[in-house]
Amino acid sequence: MILKIDNITFGYKGSQNLFSNFSLELKRGEIISIVGKSGSGKSTLFDLISKELKPKSGSIKAGKIAQVYQDPYTSFHGGYTIINQIEDVGKIENLDFWLEKISLGRNLLDKKPHQLSGGQLQRCSILRAVLMKTDLILADEPTSALDNLTQLEVMKLLISLLDNVGIVLVTHDRDLAKWCSDKIIDIEKL
């Protein structure tokens, strides 16, 4: 088990609970999609899993976590090259293998984020997560800012990583969730 959420309860001060006795388990090789409208608690759940927030009760146990954000431009520092930022968090092993798997040229890693397209930068974000030797990828709307073809490429890439990781995917796209998920949790029905 790379993620075990056991009966957590959480709510922001002065408001009703977003989660009451919520539990979830994720194994390596699985994708669980969290769906729901804006403001329903999807990002809060990620903050709880990554320990940026603490539940009122219950427990969360997770392996090593990497996050892939909706807007890849905000997850990279604009003043440094992509390779520098990947080296800061991960060991560069089997780089050529991974670059081929994610359809990126090595020369792109020497560029700064603003020199890449959104799709290229999102693939760099996934590359960084993989090279961190993570157990769990938290993917927060990783395809919503991309065109349809690039969305499909990014999702196929994430699915191809499942031998090594488990993925929790936040998405508004219920069709995408049905297409790729082992389990779908509608956060509005908790």
135 touches 28 (CB < 8 A): yes
pLDDT at res. 22: 95
Cβ-based burial of 16 (10 A; exposed 0-12, middle 13-18, buried ≥19): exposed
Q: Which residues contact 91 (CB under 8 A, 6 or more apart)?
A: 131, 133
Query: What's the whole-number average pLDDT of the chain?
Result: 89
3-state helix, strand, coil in the chain (%, to 5): 35, 25, 40
Q: What is the pLDDT of residues 119-178, one digit of tens each?
A: 889 889 988 988 888 899 999 888 876 778 778 888 888 898 888 899 999 988 889 899
**How large a percentage of the chain has pLDDT more than 90?**
49
pLDDT at res. 79: 94
Q: Could you identify the residue written with the tokens 């991974």?
A: 98
| Cα angle 91, 96, 98; round to 5 | 70
Q: What is this structure's pTM?
A: 0.87
Residue 145: give its domain's CATH number. 3.40.50.300
Q: Which residue has the higher pLDDT, 98 or 3?
A: 3
**pLDDT(101) > 90:** no
**pLDDT(88) > 80:** yes
Q: d(Cα 44, Cα 185) in Å, to the nearest integer?
A: 14
Domain around 135: 3-189
Total number of domains in the chain = 1
Is the sign of the CA dihedral 160, 166, 169, 174 positive or negative? Answer: positive
